[in-house]
Amino acid sequence: MATSGLAACAGAANSGAERFVVGVMGMSRGLSLAQNFAACNGVEVRYVCDVDERRAAAAAKKLGEQSAFKVRPIGDFRAILDDSEVDALVCAAPNHWHAPASILACSAGKHVYVEKPCSHNPHEGELLVKAARNNDVCVQMGNQRRSADKIQEAIAMLHDGAIGEVHYSRSWYANLRGPIGAGKPAKVPGHIDYELWQGPAPRQPFVDNRLHYNWHWVWHYGNGELGNNGVHSIDLSRWGLNVDYPVQVNSSGGRHWFKDSQETPDTQLISMQFEGGKQIIWEGLSCNRHGIDGETFGASFHGDNGSMTLSSWGYQLFDKRDKPLKTATGKAADRVHIQNFIDSAQAGDHTKLASEIEEGHKSTLLCHLGNIAQRTGQTLKCDPKNGHIMGNDEAASLWEREYEPGWEPKA
């Protein structure tokens, strides 16, 4: 790995002898990440990995048109970890792979950029934080709004008392997703390694409507809309309120729109309470795009001297009579977030990360607790020191999952 600081991401192809070498796992979201990494000066994307050999080949071809380096399509991410010249794994595989693959990468001495949510269940998140510490590597979660300049400005204003004392934050996500139909058992396509796709998850038969995206709505592999997109807005609420672990979580809602193979809620309202009388609610609408204030995404904060609303990249400030005081529009921060990861990894300093994995775990954990409350239909009492569920064996049983023998993650 190069020892000097890397320049900011640029649109031109890479050049120069000093390199930060990465391999990218999962060519859905991962293709965009690979392109953004490749656009950073001094970065070599050496591997693009997918269990679907067609997607890996297509990604390598597309990325090869951008990069000055040879891009190698592979099916097994462990080849990335075996390459001593690779500095980092970028994990954008399905959720059930996020923590197990990242933990293996930490154990191999690689830095990790892992997509949200950083884990499939709470136990994995704790293991990933431990693995990062034990192996002294940088692990960043892909909640890129943490690197957006106007979002950072807004959070600093909140913490400095711009709207007074704040006890309450709303966050939300709305989309217009359609049905996925009833999955039927089918033969695994020859270009897909379904055994490796399942990896750490206990084996289930292949069905025709799950790959490459609809696994999000099946508990065995995904975390529903809450883990898929809710984690972004909940992270803003937690950051702005300056809270860590809740004392109580409840959830209501369910599946109302389509009778198909989806298991996770399409309508969900979660309430999370924290010490100091602070509260976050999250509203998720998977089948209706009219979110709070008519926006599909956001987080709002309500203080005794005004309020503030965050969009994806900007904010609006209001006085206590709801009169607009300031509006700021920012820019997408994907590349800035990636550059922050590269710079931190190169410096060997995880404290410089915009979304260091312990912070990523705390926000992801709120999503897990919301889903556990939803699945059990019970209000959860939690330890404010670590978020652990107290006095509820049924809910606590969902803190971990069973694994396919031989794939159990170990920090």
Q: Is 182:232 a contact under the CB 8 Å cutoff? A: no
- 348 and 269 in a single domain? The answer is no
Q: Tell me the CATH number at 114.
A: 3.40.50.720
In this prediction, the residues of the chain whose per-residue pLDDT falls under 70 are 1-17
Which range marks the domain in which residue 175 is found?
A: 149-180+211-331+362-393
- What pLDDT does 8 receive? 41
pLDDT tens per residue, range 177-215:
999 999 999 999 999 999 999 999 999 999 999 999 999
- 298 and 243 in a single domain? The answer is yes
Let me know if residue 188 belongs to a domain: no
Q: Tell me the CATH number at 173.
A: 3.30.360.10
- 126 and 256 in a single domain? The answer is no
Q: Is 249:382 a contact under the CB 8 Å cutoff? A: yes
- 134 and 165 in a single domain? The answer is no
Let me know if residue 225 belongs to a domain: yes
- What pLDDT does 134 receive? 98
The residues with which 299 forms a beta bridge, in sequence order, are 171, 310
According to DSSP, residue 351 is labeled G
Distance CA 83, CA 222 (A): 29
- What pLDDT does 67 receive? 83
Distance CA 195, CA 199 (A): 6
Distance CA 112, CA 164 (A): 38
- What pLDDT does 231 receive? 98
In total, the chain counts a number of residues equal to 411
Which residue type, as a one-letter code, is found at position 185? P
Let me know if residue 77 belongs to a domain: yes
CB atoms within 10 A of CB 155: 22
**Pair of tokens at residue 22:** 């990465």
Residue 338's H or E segment, with its range, is helix 334-347
Let me know if residue 252 belongs to a domain: yes
- 131 and 276 in a single domain? The answer is no
- What pLDDT does 159 receive? 98
- As for how many domains the chain has, the answer is 2
Q: Is 338:142 a contact under the CB 8 Å cutoff? A: no
- 141 and 260 in a single domain? The answer is no
Backbone phi and psi for residue 117, each to the nearest 5 degrees, phi listed first: -70, 155
Distance CA 40, CA 36 (A): 7
- What pLDDT does 290 receive? 97
pLDDT tens per residue, range 127-141:
999 999 999 999 999
Let me know if residue 12 belongs to a domain: no
pTM value surpassing 0.85: yes
**Angle, CA of 297, 299 and 303, to the nearest 5°:** 155
- 282 and 172 in a single domain? The answer is yes
- 120 and 243 in a single domain? The answer is no
Let me know if residue 286 belongs to a domain: yes
- 381 and 313 in a single domain? The answer is yes
Let me know if residue 162 belongs to a domain: yes
- What pLDDT does 137 receive? 98
Let me know if residue 406 belongs to a domain: no
- 305 and 351 in a single domain? The answer is no
Distance CA 83, CA 303 (A): 51
- 104 and 164 in a single domain? The answer is no
- 139 and 97 in a single domain? The answer is yes
Output the 3-class SS for 93-104: CCHHHHHHHHHH
